[in-house]
Structure formats: structure tokens, C-alpha cells
Structure 1
Amino acid sequence: MTRPWEILTAATVAGSGLLAGVFFAFSAFVMSGLRRLPEQDGSAAMRSLNVTAQRPPLMIALFGVSVLCVVVIVRAIAGWPRPGAVWLLAGAIVTLVGAVGVTAAINVPLNNRLDAGTVLWSQFLAAWEPANHARTILCLLGCALLSVGTIRWH
């Protein structure tokens, strides 16, 4: 690997792990804490979290890692005969599906419905939490696959 490529892949691995950690925190304790609140309070707290989530720290991480994943996909395809290319490709795709795909397809629409008052809190939780678990698992798996690809690329 060249030095810039090493830095880029390391950043992609770290970013995928970071996103897995953020999603894990929601799965492990944030949502269970909100679930313990009375329905209106839990719903209000989640709507507040959704507003703060749309600020630079999470948005830079989410979209920055997504851009890095696209670069890794292109590099993996270009370096296809190399050992590790398939691992890098798979890791980047899995991370993208988890971080952006599930978020855009399920979590954000549910957040919007919660904000608009068109979904009950219990219905929101029943759909949002499994989607968040999926994001967590996919980003963690993506991190592992990217790590293997980075090691095997040499």
C-alpha cells in the first residue's frame, strides 16, 4: 500500500467502527432509557435527539465515512487481483448499506413520522430499534471486513 492509501483505509476502518459504536450506544442503553420514560416524554426526548443528531459531528462522521467507503470500493475494484480486495469491497459495501442504506430507508422516515406525530411511540420503537440493531451489526461487520482487507492487501 502507498502511504495515502494506508491512511485512507485506516480512516475507513476507524470510521466504520465509530459508526458501529454510535449505533451500539443507542441499541445498548439510549433506547432502553427512553423506553422507561412515559410515552410522551420518551417521544419528546427522541425528537430532541433527532434534532441534535443532524449537527456536524454525526453528519461529518456519517457522510465522511460514506465517501471513504466509495473511494475504497473504487480502489478495491481497481486493485482486484490483489489479496484483500474482495474483503475491502465487501467491508465498504456492508458499511454503506448499514450506515446510509438502513438509516435512509428506515430510521430517518420513522424519525420524520415521529416528528410529524403520525406514528405511535410503541410503533416507532418496534420498527426503529431493529433497524438500529441492523445498522450496528452491519457497521461492525463492515469494520471487521475492512480490517481483514487492509491486512491482506499487503
Structure 2
Amino acid sequence: MLSTLPLLACLGAAVVGGVFFAFSAFVMKALAQLPAHQGVAAMQRINLVVLKPLFMAIFIGTTVLSAICVLAGFYPWGTARSAWLLASGLLFFLGAFVVTGACNVPRNEKLRPMDPDSPQAAAYWPVYLREWLRWNHVRTAASLLSAACAGMALAH
């Protein structure tokens, strides 16, 4: 289990980090270049599609693995492997899962009911882009660093 755990945590965090990276690197930039009503409508659709089983299973599964990594980081305490597992788990749990729930999801929920053609949506869109993307950068970095730490745990 101590070999499988960091491998699965590494793969899960890397996949999730890659998705977040795509949004930071080009998806949100492309949506920002559209007229506001088109960008809002596209993001509303993305926020529905992402809730499908495949991504959610990987995201929630990696969150569970990250919690297990935190616990495994205390056994045996004091080894390099335990420190890397603890770091991996904390980075993903706090930096990806908690940030998603506390920062990105509330912005998605505020955008969700808006009529894309409304002045309200047009006014909120630039704010949404700036704030959502800022927190997505955090999620991206945390996920990829988590994957790197899990990879280091494999090496020890």
C-alpha cells in the first residue's frame, strides 16, 4: 500500500493539476476574449459538464487519497517518505480541494443563475474572470506541487 498510495496520489494530483493548468494557461484567456454574454454562457456550460462522474471521481478520489497521505505521513514519523506524503496530502487537500470549495465554487454559484445577456452578467464577468483565475492559479500550483511531493515519496 505504501508504494501504491503515492503513485495514485501522484497520478491523481497531476491529472487534476493538468486540468487546472489548462484553464489558467488558455481556457479562461479564450473565454475572456469572447463577448461577455458568450463567455458567461460557455463558463456556465463548463461548470455543468465538469460535474459529470469522470472528473468528479478523479477529483474526489484524489482528495480522499490526499487525506490518507496526511495520515500515512505520520507513519513512520521522521522518514523522508513520511514528510513527502504529508506535504503531498496537505498541498492537495488545502490547495486544491479547500480552495475549490471556498473560492472557485462560490463564484461559479454566483454566475450560474445569471442570464448571459443581462447587464448583471456583463458587469460580473470581468470580476469573475479575475477572481476565479487568481484562485485557479493557486489550485494549479498546489496540485502540481502535490504530485511532485507524491513522486518524491515514491523515490524514498
Same fold (TM over 0.5): yes
Q: Is there any run of 5+ residues in structure 2 with no aligned partner, and where?
A: 115-119
Aligned to 1:146: 150
C-alpha separation between the residues in 2 aligned to 1:115 and 1:45? 11
Q: CA deviation at 1:148?
A: 1.4
Q: Is there any run of 5+ residues in structure 1 with no aligned partner, and where?
A: none
Q: How much is the aligned-residue C-alpha RMSD, in angstroms? A: 1.3
Q: Is this contact kept in 1: 2:6–2:153, CA < 8 A?
A: no
Work out whether 1:53 is the aligned partner of 2:50.
Answer: yes
Aligned to 1:131: 135
Q: Is this contact kept in 2: 1:12–1:65, CA < 8 A?
A: yes
Q: Report the residue type matching 1:74 in the other structure.
A: L
Q: CA deviation at 1:87?
A: 1.5
Q: Which moved more, 1:10-19 or 1:74-83?
A: 74-83
Q: What does residue range 1-154 of structure 1 map to in structure 2 within 5 Å?
A: 4-117=1-114, 120-152=124-156
C-alpha separation between the residues in 1 aligned to 2:72 and 2:145? 20
**Paired residues, what number?**
149
Q: CA deviation at 1:82?
A: 2.5
After superposition, the C-alpha distances for 1:75-107 in whole angstroms (9 at most, x for unaligned) are: 111221333211110111001112211100110
C-alpha separation between the residues in 2 aligned to 1:60 and 1:17? 14
C-alpha separation between the residues in 2 aligned to 1:82 and 1:129? 36
After superposition, the C-alpha distances for 1:40-83 in whole angstroms (9 at most, x for unaligned) are: 00000000000001111111011000111111111111221333
C-alpha separation between the residues in 1 aligned to 2:138 and 2:69? 22
Q: Report the residue type matching 1:136 in the other structure.
A: T
Q: Report the residue type matching 1:135 in the other structure.
A: R
Q: Is this contact kept in 2: 1:62–1:99, CA < 8 A?
A: no
Q: Is this contact kept in 2: 1:77–1:89, CA < 8 A?
A: yes
2:3 match: secondary structure: helix
Q: CA deviation at 1:8?
A: 2.0
Q: Is this contact kept in 1: 2:66–2:90, CA < 8 A?
A: yes
Q: Which moved more, 1:123-132 or 1:142-151?
A: 142-151
After superposition, the C-alpha distances for 1:8-47 in whole angstroms (9 at most, x for unaligned) are: 2201111111111000011111111111110000000000
Q: CA deviation at 1:124?
A: 0.5
C-alpha separation between the residues in 1 aligned to 2:4 and 2:149? 17
C-alpha separation between the residues in 2 aligned to 1:82 and 1:138? 22
